[in-house]
Structure 1
Amino acid sequence: MMNTKKSMRVALPLLMLAGIVGCSDSDPVTQMYEVTVTNLSNSQPLSPLAVALHSQTYSGWRVGESAGTGLEQLAEGGDNSMFLTDAVTEGAIATFSGAGVVTPGAAERIDVSVNSSTDLRLTVATMLVNTNDAFAGKGGIDLNALALGEQITMTLPVYDAGTEGNSERAGTIPGPADGGEGFNATRDDVNIVSRHSGVVTDIDGYADSVLDESHRFDAPVAQLVVRRVN
């Protein structure tokens, strides 16, 4: 008759050894983050968020340089699809899109994850839809030192994509202030990305503007919170 107790004594050490062998230091560890953007503006809805995880070799835009077509489409029409596709083509580790427009006072959280990386950065971008081509964003946020449970909080600066003149005229702004045209492949501005100087609006006597004082963004328009959860 087989000695069951003896068999168990042999089998258990083998199972324990198998478990140790299976837990290699080289196994990938998933890093997870909550990326939350809150709209702080009065009357500037934000287009669906574009979020990319990447290394320092990728850049969604550079001040003083021409915007890519993906960024142009995001900044003029709020469409983030080409911007995210371009990010993957240019080496981004993973990309994520928001579910929809983030209205003033509202917030959206996107849960992002990636296998462990020795160089992990974050880029976030979104259009101010009651403008010609303004976008709020931050590129290359360093996540490498962010420990489990820690978070980074910042406001997002506003940039001018430089691809469409800031005319503020009827038919040129896709947001609810106008309901006009979004992306147009013709570039009629300085063709470089820069910090946005703000909108003029009709309050300053610019009669052609479809914008009013509520559409201004002298104060921060969006807050970003990145929290590591795994």
Structure 2
Amino acid sequence: MKSLKSLYLKLLMAGIFLTLLSACHDDDDNEGPMPDPEPRQYRYQVSVTNLTNAQPMSPFAVVLHNEGMLWNIGESANDAMENLAESGDKSQVLELDVVLASSSGADILMPGSSETIEVVVADIEPVYLSAATMLVNTNDAFTGINALDVSHLAMNESISLVMGSYDAGTEKNSEIAETIPGPAAGGEGFNAERDDVDFVAAHPGVVSMDDGLTQSVLTQAHRFDNPTIRVTVTRIE
């Protein structure tokens, strides 16, 4: 009886050992490389409203970046901003080296009209948002927001602001037909020659033919006071 009991105990212990060994082996099999965390996405809605009376605005360029600015007051405009401010062409702005994500307005933004543009980026810190557009019945006026820090925005939180306009300083504000690309004149857009002060500044507004600039193709209807746009940025993801 003792030998049977001893054999039974040995078999029982062997079974427990094999069970434990199998469990350890299964645990080892389950231990693999940890999967990479899902990238954290930041998605923003940018709602823009044209506040002017008769200044259509070129399709907006909206970009996200984590360094740099689109323009600096008192410094020369870069080539991308010169092109946008003189012709409304946003393509070079969207391709700037600092840009990590971008989106565009669908079309010309007419006076009094609004548009909402979405832009999304993953895993950057901090998050700066910039947007720019040309006032097309001008020589080189533009408006927008420049490196707005939206890193702190919580889900569904918004920032609203109104913005004035800037003079790119790359083309004289002659207001003559040949140099204004908008519907008031239908003239030339971008010209590589810089014949003005060559630095970005607050725009003084247009003079117009009604106020004594005889060569101007603009009227008082095309005049604008600041602010010229309203912008609301909302984080939605």
Structure 1 residue aligned with 2:39: 28
Q: Is the 8 A contact 2:164 2:226 kept in 1?
A: no
Which residue identity is paired with 1:106? S
Q: Is the 8 A contact 1:58 1:92 kept in 2?
A: no
CA distance in 1: counterparts of 2:93 and 2:42, whole angstroms: 24
CA distance in 1: counterparts of 2:142 and 2:79, whole angstroms: 14
| TM-score for the superposition, normalised by structure 1 | 0.86
RMSD: 1.7
Identity of aligned pairs, percent?
49
Query: Which protein shows a greater Rg?
Result: 2
| TM-score for the superposition, normalised by structure 2 | 0.83
Is 1:208 matched up with 2:219? no
User: Post-superposition shift, 1:103?
Assistant: 0.6
Structure 2 residues not aligned, in runs of 5+: 1-22
Structure 1 residues not aligned, in runs of 5+: 1-9
Secondary structure at the residue paired with 1:112? strand
Q: How does 1:1-230 map to 2 (within 5 A)?
A: 26-55=37-66, 57-85=67-95, 87=96, 89=97, 91-230=98-237
Structure 2 residue aligned with 1:3: none
Deviations 1:74-127 (A, max 9, x none): 000000001211x2x2x2211222111101111111111111322000011000
Secondary structure at the residue paired with 1:105? coil
Point out 4+ residue stretches in structure 1 off by more than 4 angstroms: none
Structure 1 residue aligned with 2:12: none
Which residue identity is paired with 1:93? L
Secondary structure at the residue paired with 1:171? helix
Q: Is the 8 A contact 1:126 1:135 kept in 2?
A: yes
CA distance in 2: counterparts of 1:127 and 1:176, whole angstroms: 13
User: Post-superposition shift, 1:65?
Assistant: 0.8
User: Post-superposition shift, 1:200?
Assistant: 0.5
Equivalenced residue count is: 208
